[in-house]
Amino acid sequence: MSVKEIFESMDYGPAPEAAGDALAWIVDRGARFGHFINGSFTDAGDGFETKNPATGEVLATLTQASQEDVDAAVAAARAAQPAWESLGGKGRARHLYAIARLLQKHARLFAVLETLDNGKPIREARDIDVPLAQRHFYYHAGLAQLVGSELPDRRALGVCGQVIPWNFPLLMLAWKVAPALAMGNTVVLKPAEWTSLTALCFADLCQQAGLPDGVVNIVTGDGAVGEMVVRSDVDKVAFTGSTEVGRKIREATAGRDIALSLELGGKSPFIVFEDADIDSAVEGVVDAIWFNGGQVCCAGSRLLVQEGIADVFHARLKARMANLRVGDPLDKCIDVGAIVDPAQKARIAQLVDGSGGEVYRACTAPDGCFYPPTLISGLSSADPLMQEEIFGPVLVSTTFRTPSEAVQLANDTRYGLAASVWSENLNTALDIAPKLAAGVVWVNGTNMFDAAAGFGGVRESGFGREGGWEGARAYTRPVATLGPREKVSGFTGASVEPLAVDRTAKMYIGGKQVRPDGGYAKAVYAADGTLIAQAPIANRKDLRNAVEAARGAGGWAAATAHNRAQVLYYIAENLSARAGEFAALIDRQTGGDTGKAEVEAAVDRLFSYAAWADKFEGAVKPVPARAVAMALHEPCGVIGALCSDDAPLLGFVSAMAPIIAMGNRAVLVASEPFPLAALEFMQVLETSDVPAGVVNILTGSHSELGATLATHMGIDAVWSFSSTELAETIEAGAANVLKRTWVPSGAIDWMGDDAEGRVFLEAATEVKTVWVPYGA
C-alpha cells in the first residue's frame, strides 16, 4: 500500500474534550441557580431545566424570574450607576481589564460550559466565542480609559436592559455588557432560556473581579422575563434576536424617551463570481452556513453562483459536504454539533419539508437533536426558503448571470445584516460591496468579527452598531439636555381676502411647485392678526408623491461629496442674497425680532455642512487580523423629517442640510405654525443646482403627516423635531418595517453649537463595515 493510499484510508479518530471541570462547577453550586442581583446570587426558586442538547441530559435547574426579581435587579442597577459612572473611565477600565484577564484564565471552563449548554462544537467555542469575548472586554477597557478625553461632551445613559439570544450566549453578553460598562452604565441582562449557564458563570467571574455590587445583574427565564426587562424603568434596551420580537420591542419602547438598539435576523447572500477561487469559496460556504450549525443571524444562507461555474461549484460543494462530520460537540473532530433544542430542530425540519426544491444531503446525523447539512436548489427568489430565516444548517442556492443581477438577487429580501462577495478581481468585489443592502460585507471571506469593527444591520435586520466607537457612543447621551419640546401654536386673525397680491404658497415636490392634492389651505396670520398668506395642507397622497420623487432621485447618493458640497455652498450664497427678505418674513410670522440672526445662522449652518460633506470620514479599523476592515459612511436613503416650530427657517435648514450633505434625499414637513419661510426657501433651491427630488417640502399637520412618514414603506428613516408628544406615534409606526427613527429627547437650542455637527451626520448615515483580507 502506498503512502497516498494509507492517508486516503485514514479516518478521524475521536478526540473528546473532558467536561469534568465544567460539570463540577455546576455541581458545586448545587445544580440549581438563582438570579445574580446586587452582587450576589439569590436563592434558587421555581423554574426550568437547562439541558445538554447533544444528549438530552439535564445540566441544571434555573429560576424563572418574577416581576419582583426584575424590579429588584433594575433597582440595584439604578442605585449602583451614579457611583460606577463617577468612578471615571480610567477606574472602570481597571475592572474591565480584570474581567478580560479572568476570562483568559478560565477560558477552557467557559468553552466547555458553552458547548454543553448550547451544543456547538468545542472547537468553535474554544477558538472563536471565548477569545472574541475576551477581546471585547480588553478593547472596551481601552475605550473606557480614553472616554474622558475622546467623548468629553457625552455621559452614560444610566441603566441598560439587555436581552441576548441562545446562539452565542457568552459572546453576545460580551458585545453588550462591555460597552455599557465602559461608558459608565449599569446593566440588567436576560440570557436566553435555553443557554443561561455561561452568563451565570460570568456573574461568578464578576464577583472574582471585585466588580461593585449592582453594576451587573442577571435574571433568568423565558421570553416573558425579557418582556419585563424591556418594560422596566431602564434608559436603554439592547436586544439581539428575531425580527418578530424586535418589532414588538420597538412598539413597547415607543414614546418612552429611551435608547434602543436592535440586532435582528438575516438572510445573508453568499455571492460567487466566475473568477473566484472556487476551492476557497467552497470552504467559505462551509464557514458561512455550517458554522454553529447555521444558527447564526448573519449566516450566508443564500448561495448565489454565477452561471458559468455553477455546475463545477456545486459539484465541489457536494463533495465537501460528504466529508462534514456531525456528532458529539465535545469531540474536537466534529464540524457540526447539535441543534440547541428539539423545538428549534422541529422548526428547521418543518421549513425544509415544506420546500419544493431539490434537497441534497451528503452525510447523516446521529439520533437526537442533530440535523444534517442540507443544500436546496431549484427555488425561485420569491420562495419562502429564499426569503425566511431558517436558522439551521440549511443552504439555499440559485444562479445569476451578470453582476447587476447578483446585486438584484442579493438585495431581494427584507433583511440587510451581512453579505459575502467572492472574486479574485478586487475591482468587481469593491464595485459590488457598496451596492449591497447590508451592514457588513466580507470580501473573499465570511464570519469575520472584531470588537473594533462595528457590526449591525439595515432594513429589518435592525439598527445600531455593536463594536468600535460607534457602538460605544450608542451607550452615551449629551451631557446637557433641555426640557421637552412643546407644541407651538400660530397666530389667529380675521380673514381679509382678497390680498392685493396672491400669496397662496405651493409645496415643492420633485423639483416643482405643486398645489395640494386635497385642495385645502390654511391662513397664516401675523402677530397683529393680519393675514400674511395661505399655506397648503398636504395629505397622504402629497406625501406619497414626495416619497416617489425622492426615491427617483437616487443618483444623488452617487454624486461625489465634493459635488454635494458645491450645491450646499450655492444654497448658502443664494439664501444670503435674500437675507433681508427672509428675516422680515420670519419676524412677521413669529412676532419676534430674531429673524436676522436666524437667517445668518442658517447661512452659517449651510456652510458648515458644505464643509462636512467631504470630511465626515470613515475609518480603517485596527483589527487583529490580516485584513482591512473599512467602516464606510453610507446614506440612509430617503429621510422624512418633521421640522422644528421653534426656528422656522433655521430648524428647517438644520434638518435639510445634513440629510443632503450625506447623499440622502429629504421629505421635509415644514414648521406647522410658521410654514412660510420653508415654502419661500423652495425658490432658493430652484436657483442652486439641487437635482429634482433631492429636497421635497410639504406643509400641514405634523401629527397626521408624521404618522404617515413613520409607516410609509418608501421612507428609510424618520426624524422628528416637532413636539415631544409625537414621539410615540412615530416610533410605534416605524416598528412595522423597523426603520430608524431619531426623536431627540429634549428641546434643541437651534442657535447653539449642539444644533449641528456629528450627531446629525451620524443620524444621516449608516455604517457599513467592509472586510478585505489580504496576503497569500
DSSP tally for the chain: helices H, then strands E = 28, 32
- Count of CB atoms situated within 10 Å of the CB of 480: 11
CA distance 614 to 617: 7
Pair 660, 564: CB distance under 8 Å: yes
Q: Which amino acid is at 508?
A: Y
Q: Which helix (H) or strand (E) holds 668?
A: strand 665-669
Q: What residues form DSSP beta bridges with 336?
A: 326
C-alpha cell of residue 717: 428613516
Pair 468, 502: CB distance under 8 Å: no
Pair 672, 775: CB distance under 8 Å: no
Choosing from 160, 201, 206, 297, the catalytic residue is 297
Any residues with CB less than 8 A from the CB of 103 and at least 6 apart, and which?
110, 130, 133, 134, 137, 205
Pair 390, 301: CB distance under 8 Å: yes
C-alpha cell of residue 41: 446570587
C-alpha cell of residue 660: 443632503
Q: What are phi and psi of 214, to 5 degrees?
A: 85, -10
Q: Which helix (H) or strand (E) holds 443?
A: strand 440-443
Is 297 marked active-site? yes
> Measured between alpha carbons, how far is residue 210 from residues 129, 178, 202 in Å?
24, 16, 13
CA distance 654 to 301: 42
Helices (H), 354-459: 384-387, 403-410, 426-432
Instruction: Report CA torsion sign: 12, 13, 14, 15.
Output: negative
Choosing from 227, 263, 634, 731, the catalytic residue is 263
Q: Which helix (H) or strand (E) holds 180?
A: helix 169-182
Pair 642, 670: CB distance under 8 Å: no
Q: Which amino acid is at 549?
A: A
CA distance 742 to 514: 28
Instruction: Provide the strand spans (E) within 492-586.
Output: 507-509, 512-514, 521-525, 531-536
293 three-class SS: helix
Is 160 marked active-site? no
Strand order in the sheet with 740-742: 512-514, 507-509, 695-698, 665-669, 638-642, 717-720, 740-742
Q: What share of the chain is helix, strand, coil (3-state, %, to 5)?
A: 45, 20, 40
| Residue in the structure block whose three cell numbers are 487583529 | 624
Q: Are strands 40-41 and 36-37 parallel, antiparallel or unpaired?
A: antiparallel
Alpha carbon 646 to its chain centroid, in Å, reads 31
Helices (H), 433-467: none
Q: Which helix (H) or strand (E) holds 395?
A: strand 394-400
Let me know the angle formed at the C-alpha of 617 by 613 and 621, rounded to the nearest 5 degrees. 165
Residue 713, Cβ density class (10 Å: 0-12 exposed, 13-18 middle, ≥19 buried) = exposed
> Measured between alpha carbons, how far is residue 239 from residues 131, 226, 302 in Å?
22, 9, 25
Point out the residues that are catalytic: 263, 297
